[in-house]
Amino acid sequence: MSVNGGNGELSRAARAERSLARRPIDVLPYRVGASIDVLLVRDADRDAWGPPSAAQQKGLTRFASAALEVRRRFGVSGKVYKQPLRREGTGEPSEVLPLLVESDAPTASGHTSAEARWISLGEASEMVSPEFRPLMAALAARIGAGPRRSGPSTTTSARRRR
């Protein structure tokens, strides 16, 4: 942690780092198959669905902390993207880290009191709290599952003409 000018005050970067370390890390695991599914959780004390959260682990980056926590709690592992999805309009902006699931264990370790379900991206957009809805659209756009731009296309029948 760096101190400004020896007067005992933390630098702006150090204050930001300390602030981030106290916030939970939201992570949005998703898998691509016949459809795009996201892993959502609902805590026992809340009725709303949202992405899992992870705590910052001492000595690990937030990306490694997010991957470790999701693997421990839900039995999924994969690649955490370093480019977060932004969540605005919740008092203060926060980030959600997308995680492309590469391995999905049949059972989780049970270190959670939350209900977890794989839900299609379209259905998830309707189930999550309003502050998370833009994230579903942002994830769809990022992985190319959003609305397609219209443009020239080649059809199979056009190619078969002689």
Q: What is the CATH classification number for the domain harbouring 116?
A: 3.90.79.10
What is the model's pLDDT at position 82? Answer: 86
What is the model's pLDDT at position 40? Answer: 94
Q: Taking the model in full, what pTM does it have?
A: 0.70
pLDDT, tens only, 106-140: 555 555 567 899 999 999 999 988 888 888 988 99
4 falls within a domain: no
What is the model's pLDDT at position 139? Answer: 92
66 falls within a domain: yes
10 falls within a domain: no
Count of domains observed in the chain: 1
50 falls within a domain: yes
**Contact call for residues 52 and 116 (beta carbons, < 8 A):** yes
148 falls within a domain: no
59 falls within a domain: yes
Q: Which residues contact 120 (CB under 8 A, 6 or more apart)?
A: 35, 36, 37
| pLDDT tens digit at each of 162 positions of the chain | 444 555 556 566 555 555 555 578 889 999 998 899 999 998 777 778 989 988 888 899 989 999 999 999 999 999 998 889 886 655 555 789 999 999 887 555 555 567 899 999 999 999 988 888 888 988 998 888 644 333 322 222 333 333
What is the model's pLDDT at position 15? Answer: 55
Burial of residue 92 (number of CB atoms within 10 Å: 0-12, 13-18, 19+): exposed
Place of tokens 């004390």: 45
Cβ–Cβ contacts within 10 Å for residue 27, how many? 27
69 falls within a domain: yes
Residue range of the domain that includes 67 = 17-142
12 falls within a domain: no
